[in-house]
Every structure is written in C-alpha cells, then in structure tokens.
Chains A and B, each alone.
Chain A
Amino acid sequence: KAGVTQTPRYLIKTRGQQVTLSCSPISGHRSVSWYQQTPGQGLQFLFEYFSETQRNKGNFPGRFSGRQFSNSRSEMNVSTLELGDSALYLCASRSVLGRLRAFFGQGTRLTVV
C-alpha cells in the first residue's frame, strides 16, 4: 500500500498570502488529521476529518481551515499568512473510527517571508 502523500513538500509564501496543502491518506483510511510542528511549540493538533466532517479541532485561529473530500483526500488552508505560520505541517491517516494507530506523511515545510 502506498503511504500518506502530502503535497507540496516545500513551499515559500509571502506574509498576507494564503496557502493550500494537500494530503492523500493510505488507501482505505477514512480519517485524516493535521498537525503543525514548530521548534517553539512542538507538535500541535490542528483538526481531524472523517467522512468529510470535521470531528475535532485544536486551538488555532480561524485562519486555519480544512476540508475532506469524498475520496478521503484532505486539504488545509491558511489565509492571511503570518511569519509565525512557518512550520512543518504533517498529515496523519488512520483506518476507521475505533482504530487509533496513526500513519504520517512526510510533511509540507512552509516558509513565510
């Protein structure tokens, strides 16, 4: 089985712009979660989607949003980028509700200048 695929791998954006990151889960996995990793805050949960519905949300401003499509692929969007949004964004997939083991993609490294 192919693993979790995140695109793009690297991204440079300017303050004030918006960005969309993509995550394709492992085939058959229906849950997708997003995490932000920074040197100062470590790994922090952004949100989780299952069956196209957001099931849980972390403590991030409304500039961070996401969605999930019927094929389980997910996108997250960050609007009005700030320098502090520079981070590694990681996506994790798991099979179904009740199965908790998470598998992560290689991440998207976002740099805001």
Chain B
Amino acid sequence: GIQVEQSPPDLILQEGANSTLRCNFSDSVNNLQWFHQNPWGQLINLFYIPSGTKQNGRLSATTVATERYSLLYISSSQTTDSGVYFCAVGLTNAGGTSYGKLTFGQGTILTVHP
C-alpha cells in the first residue's frame, strides 16, 4: 500500500514564527488532504489539495504530485495552531470510482509557545 512519511515529527515554535511541514508519499495519488487534530481529538480538514497550491488565511499548501510530496505552510503561528497535523492520501480505484479511503502519515506535533 501507499506509504506516507511526514516531517518533522515534532516542531516547537515561538508565537509569530513561520513553519513548513512536509509530506512524502510513495505512489501516485489523486487525493491528498491536510488535517489538524485538536486537543479533543477531532480532525479538522484544512485542505483538499491533490495538486497545486491553495491558501486559507495564514495557512497555505502546495502539492507537487509528480514528485510525490506536499508542503503545509503556517505563517505567523499562534498558540491555537498547536496540535497534530496529518497528511492523508488516497488513490481512485482502477474502475474510476472515487473511493474515500485515506492513508495517514504519523503526523507532526506542533507546539507554539506564547
């Protein structure tokens, strides 16, 4: 199956700093999503980004599908950005039906200090 590797595993920042989280995957995918897991365990969908670049406020993401990686940028970090960030990928099956199975990386634990 598809392997997903995220780096760094842990990241500690001061409030206001910028950061880049990386996600490498082992095979072609047409489904890539970034999530933030809050302290209560809920996964919040940040981006659906199988290719290209998207921005949402202080967050942006870029996926280079041909090189099998995606980057999540967090600018001017805030304490509320703390938590675990997951990259998850998937592949439409050969029959063309878009199944939703996601394979998750191990996550990046982000801690932002005031």
Chain A residues at the B interface, C-beta cutoff of 8 Å: 31, 33, 35, 37, 42-45, 48, 55-56, 58, 88, 90, 92, 94, 97-107, 109
CB distance from B39 to the nearest CB of A (A): 11
CB <8 Å contact, B104 and A104: no
Contact of A45 among B41, B50, B103 (CB under 8 A): B103
Interface size bucket, B side? 20 to 34
CB <8 Å contact, B42 and A104: yes
Task: Give Cα A103–Cα B44 distance, bound, in whole angstroms.
Answer: 7
CB distance from B44 to the nearest CB of A (A): 8
Task: Give Cα A94–Cα B99 distance, bound, in whole angstroms.
Answer: 10
Check if B45 is an interface residue, CB within 8 A of chain A: yes
CB <8 Å contact, B104 and A42: yes
CB <8 Å contact, B100 and A94: yes
Chain A's interface: helix, strand, loop or mixed, by majority? strand
- Write the chain B residue with the least CB distance to A43: B104
15 contacts between A and B (CB under 8 A): A33-B101, A35-B102, A42-B104, A42-B106, A43-B88, A45-B102, A45-B103, A55-B97, A92-B43, A92-B100, A100-B50, A100-B100, A102-B45, A104-B35, A106-B41
Task: Give Cα A106–Cα B38 distance, bound, in whole angstroms.
Answer: 9
- Chain A residues lying within 8 Å of B86, measured Cβ to Cβ, are 43
Give B90-105 as 1s and 0s: 1 = Cβ < 8 Å from A's Cβ atoms: 1000000111111111
Check if B31 is an interface residue, CB within 8 A of chain A: yes
Task: Give Cα A107–Cα B44 distance, bound, in whole angstroms.
Answer: 12
CB <8 Å contact, B43 and A90: yes
CB <8 Å contact, B103 and A97: no
CB distance from A33 to the nearest CB of B (A): 5
CB <8 Å contact, B104 and A88: no
